[in-house]
Copies of this chain bind each other. A is one copy, B any other.
Amino acid sequence: MSEKTTIYDIAKRLNITAATVSRALNNSAKISEATRKLVVDTAVEMNYKQNKLALALKSGKSYNVGVIVPYIDHNFFASVIRGIEEELNPKGYHVIICQTHEIEKKEIDTINTLLNAQVDGVIMSISKLSNETSHFKRVLDKNVPLIFFDRKKDIPGVSTVTINDFEAAYSATTHLIEQGCKRIAHISGDWALEIYKERFEGYKKALEDNGLEFEKEYVLQTKSNIESGHKAVDVLMKLEYQPDAIFSSGDYVALGAIQRLKELGVRIPEDFCVVGFSNEPFTRFMELPISSIDQVPLEMGQMAAKVFLEQQKNSGKVKIEQKVQLTSQLLIRKSSSKL
């Protein structure tokens, strides 16, 4: 029972040739209805299953797509992957997951082994410290579609799917201003990543457009964790002119900030407002729900998959990279609702 049956087995049984079996099974070409049915029936009977590996070798298409993320168990990435999988699976593709742990060497290794595995495409969010770009070139040279999502890098031939980080930050900051906040601090991430740079720019522009002074002291760059939120507040509240609001580029930092502010006896949102970024699940569950920006990860995944499928279809023709920008959503919750 455990032996695999091939089209040869079917052919032998029917005293025909494997080629005919193949044709019958793919009900293509010209083939008599009689033998077609005969073949299909015995195929079922013999429990025949097509070996996709052989097909892949022959056709050069593995129907596998590599997805590379820093960590798969970060909510945002998991959701994106979900979107990718749900879009690609019905089209017959499988999704191979790889993690880089934010380590560039792993990113490079991963890309190499995925290429060796003959994936039909690579969808990824780059590692923080990427300096090298030759591994990306290698993907493109093999004519394999490469798509960046969220964390992008401007490389010719690479498609990107992102949200409007600038505008998202702009609207979050504007929202804080509308709440009456005058001294809005911004906690950012590593500017080596474009997304953090753009969020900062959006924040700055919103201040300018509303006639608020941009204060360098109000901008901090930290890691994305709770501890950083604690420290950031410690720094900010020691300033001569204490801020009355924080727009954070990450939810964990926002959470940490809130925790420390409460310890200091600051009332939120009455005296201090906070907005985070990412719409992590916990932001909505808190007793004090945290305002945040939803990055629409599911749509992002679906869109990245669609872009891949598009590129796939047009392979051979000139391949034009796509730059898709999705619209994020500011979710106003209690942490920033004075009014």
Q: Are A73 and B75 in contact (CB under 8 A)?
A: yes
Q: Which of A111-119, A179-187, A205-213 contacts B (4 or more CB under 8 A)?
A: A111-119
Distance A4 CA – B60 CA, assembled complex (angstroms): 11
Q: How many copies does the complex hold?
A: 2
In the assembled complex, how far is the CB of residue A294 from the closest CB belonging to chain B, in whole angstroms? 14
Q: Are A118 and B75 in contact (CB under 8 A)?
A: no
Q: Does A35 make an interface contact (CB < 8 A)?
A: no
Q: Which of A89-97, A146-154, A170-178 contacts B (4 or more CB under 8 A)?
A: A89-97
Q: Which of B71, B86, B96, B98 contacts A64 (CB under 8 A)?
A: B96
Q: Which of B98, B142, B282 contacts A85 (CB under 8 A)?
A: B98
Q: Does A52 make an interface contact (CB < 8 A)?
A: yes
Q: Does A79 make an interface contact (CB < 8 A)?
A: yes
Q: Does A1 make an interface contact (CB < 8 A)?
A: yes
19 inter-chain pairs at a CB distance below 8 angstroms, sorted by A residue, are A2-B141, A49-B112, A51-B118, A52-B116, A52-B118, A53-B57, A53-B62, A53-B117, A63-B117, A64-B117, A72-B78, A72-B82, A73-B78, A73-B82, A78-B78, A85-B97, A95-B96, A96-B96, A96-B97
